[in-house]
């Protein structure tokens, strides 16, 4: 007779936390701050950075509305897959169109996977001063076009789960507000 011990797994709740906002709004910075805190608390965390996704998962896609939608759906699929397996997935991705974000939320809902939409609501004037990647300067110089929030649309979420005004608080305060939301929703 072979003894097989019962394996009891701790109930781990995964969730997708999508941080949407303009370029240089602070999405990725807040996500990294929160990821560090969650990992320190023992949570399984993945961060799906928009730039990395474009390089590895969505290489070849441009910035047309259709390509942006495809990119967001790919990211949403990976996020839901990870979240449904107990991972806290932080997604600092612009996702400029409401219908694309809604499709990701619906996918999560149909799978029973928690999903939170966080709007990092930093005004374009502040983003253009931060200009982390030099995109606003390139757009102003006529070197690029189609910059989200400047000469390409950004549809702000009408009723996000949380709105963060990163220009009015520190990165740590922004991450703490998001941590509080996760706690309030029973996801920590």
Check the annotation: does 25 bind a ligand. Answer: yes
Check the annotation: does 28 bind a ligand. Answer: yes
Check the annotation: does 22 bind a ligand. Answer: yes
- Rounded to whole angstroms, the Cα distance separating 61 from 24 reads 21
Q: What single DSSP character describes residue 9?
A: P
Check the annotation: does 23 bind a ligand. Answer: yes
Those residues whose C-beta lies under 8 Å from the C-beta of residue 10, and which sit 6 or more positions away, are: none
- Rounded to whole angstroms, the Cα distance separating 34 from 108 reads 21
Residues in binding site for ATP:
21-28
Residues in binding site:
21-28
């Amino acid at each position: 007779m072979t003894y097989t011990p019962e394996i009891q797994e701790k109930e781990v709740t995964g969730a997708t936390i999508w941080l949407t906002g303009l370029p240089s709004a602070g999405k990725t910075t807040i996500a990294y701050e929160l990821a560090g805190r969650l990992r320190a608390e023992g949570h399984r965390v993945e961060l799906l950075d928009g730039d990395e996704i474009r390089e590895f998962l969505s290489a070849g896609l441009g910035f047309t509305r259709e390509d942006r939608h495809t990119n967001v759906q790919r990211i949403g699929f990976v996020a839901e897959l990870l979240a449904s397996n107990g991972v806290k997935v932080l997604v600092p991705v612009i996702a400029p169109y409401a219908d694309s974000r809604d499709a990701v939320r619906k996918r999560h809902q149909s799978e029973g996977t928690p999903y939170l939409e966080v709007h990092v609501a930093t005004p374009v004037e502040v983003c253009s001063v931060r200009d982390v990647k030099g995109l606003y300067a390139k757009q102003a110089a006529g070197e690029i076009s189609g910059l989200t929030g400047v000469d390409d649309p950004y549809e702000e979420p009408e009723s996000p789960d949380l709105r963060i005004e990163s220009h009015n608080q520190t990165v740590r305060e922004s991450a703490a507000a998001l941590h509080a939301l996760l706690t309030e929703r029973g996801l920590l």
